[in-house]
């Protein structure tokens, strides 16, 4: 491996680079970490080429870009622009994980997959997955990962179904998956959606409860409910932070997967992808698909 100092350029379209991501990168072994804020997609080519031409081609694998922010599609656009900016033999690696969403979604889908298999002998193919917080970065990424595995995914809108329609259109265009938008603003709409759900991903904002025990009890087909929200109250009533497939309180067969069980796999996946960048023998380009593969290996 090249002995060149590992450098990570951390780009964010927002006014901050996430301190969480900075810590993760340094703990993984990057020696120099430089934050860039308010970065626009049109600036990626210039930044990447500025970085690669300053080091011999062999050092490229020790030069990385991390793309953060709060927008999954923008992060993927930036990643594509970075890849297209490379001028062989000058290279660099890129890892996108906006708001930690790719590794969090990967952790959630991988943890639920294990519980579905072990407790209900089911896989993703044809399974009805319902997503709360579907316009958020974690909700969107988990929807796409599950749909790519063959699940039938419903995106629940808590205010205005148009925004989830847009998310479904983007998923179809970019990943070729069909996500079903559904209005979930009234208790009646929610009850109808939950009645069909076999898996729920609760990925709404911190401290927002999306499912009560009464709603869980009315969800007669629900096999697993997963919750990424660690801020009280839980996104799913009765969820324990560390749940890994135990039956939720008041339910007969619905298993819970809690935020810190998911967070453990998220943390390992993000750390693992930084380590992969550091150890790569050629440049790597990592997104939610790589995160999911790694998360699966940790869960197994
Ligand atoms: N466990 C972990 O390791 C981990 C890691 C990262 C994040 N998280 C958690 O993951 C969750 C999602 O994060 P994110 O970055 O994806 O957040 P985000 O982008 O801000 O998305 C939040 C989502 O929640 C929706 N929402 C807001 N208020 C709601 C309400 N009252 N009822 C139903 N839905 C509501 C939002 O809808 P609108 O678009 O309509 O506002 C949006 O879809 C958060 O709870 C965060 O703390 C957990």
Cβ of 72 less than 6 Å from ligand 1: no
Residue 238 structure tokens: 């009765």
Question: In this structure, are strands 199-202 and 224-227 parallel, antiparallel, or unpaired?
Answer: parallel
Task: Give me the pLDDT at residue 2, please.
Answer: 60
Pairing of strands 255-257, 128-132: unpaired
Structure tokens at 119: 């407790």
Instruction: Answer yes or no: is the C-beta of 204 below 6 A from any ligand 1 atom.
Output: yes
Q: Are 164 and 242 in contact, with CB atoms under 8 Å apart? A: no
- 69 touches ligand 1 (CB under 6 Å): no
Q: Are 48 and 283 in contact (CB under 8 A)?
A: no
Question: How are beta strands 93-96 and 244-247 bridged, if at all?
Answer: unpaired
Task: Determine whether the shortest distance from the Cβ of 101 to ligand 1 is under 6 A.
Answer: yes
Q: Which domains does the chain have, with CATH numbers?
A: 7-96 (3.40.50.10280), 101-262 (3.40.50.720)
CA of 235 to the centre of ligand 1 (A): 10
What's the half-sphere exposure (Cβ side, CA atoms, 13 Å) at 144? 30
Count of C-beta atoms within a 10 Å radius of residue 71: 17
Q: Which sign, positive or negative, has the C-alpha torsion 288, 72, 222, 179?
A: negative
Pocket flag, ligand 1, residue 236 (CB < 6 Å)? no
Residue nearest to atom 19 of ligand 1 (CA): 136
CA distances from 74 to 35, 42, 113, 292 (A): 18, 11, 28, 20
Instruction: Assess contact for 79 and 45: CB atoms under 8 A.
Output: no
**Per-residue pLDDT tens digits of the chain, which is 300 residues long:** 467 999 999 999 999 999 999 999 999 999 999 999 999 999 999 999 999 999 999 998 999 999 999 999 999 999 999 999 999 999 999 999 999 999 999 999 999 999 999 999 999 999 999 999 999 999 999 999 999 999 999 999 999 899 899 999 999 999 999 999 999 999 899 999 999 999 999 999 999 999 999 999 999 999 999 999 999 999 999 999 999 999 999 999 999 999 999 999 999 999 999 999 999 999 999 999 999 999 999 999
For atom 48 of ligand 1, which residue has the closest CA? Answer: 228
Distance CA 40, CA 106 (A): 26
Q: 3-state SS of the chain?
A: CCCCCCEEEEECCCCCCCHHHHHHHHHHCCCEEEEECCCCHHHHHHHHHHHHCCCCHHHHHHEEEEECCCCHHHHHHHHHHHHHHCECCECCEEEECHHHHHHHHHHHHHHHHHHHHHHHCCCCCCCEEEEECCCCHHHHHHHHHHHHCCCEEEEEECCCCHHHHHHHHHHHHHHCCCEEEEECCCHHHHHHHHHHCCEEEECCCCCCCCECHHHHHHCCCCCEEEECCCCCCCCECCCCCCCEEEECCCCCCCEEECHHHHHHHHHHHHHHHHHHHHHCCCCCEECHHHHHHHHHHHHC
Give the SS3 label for residue 48.
Answer: helix
| Backbone phi, psi, residue 254, to 5° | -80, 120
For the Cβ of 214 lying below 6 angstroms from any atom of ligand 1, the answer is no
Q: Which atom of ligand 1 is nearest to the CA of 263?
A: 3
Residue 156 backbone phi and psi in degrees, to 5: -90, 130
Structure tokens at 59: 């050092």
Would you say the CB of residue 206 lies under 6 angstroms from ligand 1?
A: yes
The response to whether residue 136 sits with its C-beta less than 6 Å from ligand 1 reads yes
């Amino acid at each position: 491996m090249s002995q060149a100092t590992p450098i990570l350029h951390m780009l964010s379209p927002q006014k901050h680079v996430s301190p969480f991501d900075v810590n993760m990168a340094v703990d993984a072994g990057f020696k120099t970490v430089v934050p860039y804020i308010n970065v626009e997609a049109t600036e990626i080519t210039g930044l990447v080429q500025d970085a690669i031409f300053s080091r011999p081609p062999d050092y490229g694998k020790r030069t990385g870009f991390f793309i953060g922010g709060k927008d999954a599609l923008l992060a993927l656009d930036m990643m594509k622009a970075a890849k297209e900016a490379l001028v062989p033999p000058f290279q660099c690696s890129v890892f996108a994980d906006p708001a930690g969403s790719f590794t969090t979604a990967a952790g959630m889908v991988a943890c639920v997959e294990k519980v579905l298999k072990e407790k209900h002998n089911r896989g993703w193919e044809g399974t009805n997955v319902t997503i709360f917080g579907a316009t958020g970065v974690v909700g969107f990424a988990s929807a796409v990962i599950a749909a790519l595995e063959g699940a039938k995914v419903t995106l629940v809108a808590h205010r205005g179904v148009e925004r989830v329609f847009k998310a479904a259109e983007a998923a179809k265009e970019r990943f070729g998956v069909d996500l079903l938008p559904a209005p979930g603003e009234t208790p009646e709409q929610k009850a109808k959606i939950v009645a069909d759900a076999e898996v729920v991903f609760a990925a709404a904002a911190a401290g927002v409860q999306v499912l009560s025990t009464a709603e869980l009890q009315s969800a007669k087909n629900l096999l697993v409910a997963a919750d990424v929200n660690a801020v009280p109250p839980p996104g799913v009533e009765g969820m324990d932070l560390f749940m890994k497939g135990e039956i939720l309180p008041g339910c007969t067969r619905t298993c819970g997967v809690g935020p810190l069980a998911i967070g453990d796999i998220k943390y390992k996946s993000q750390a693992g992808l930084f380590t992969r960048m550091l150890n790569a023998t050629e440049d790597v380009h990592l997104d939610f698909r790589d995160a999911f593969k790694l998360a699966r290996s940790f869960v197994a």
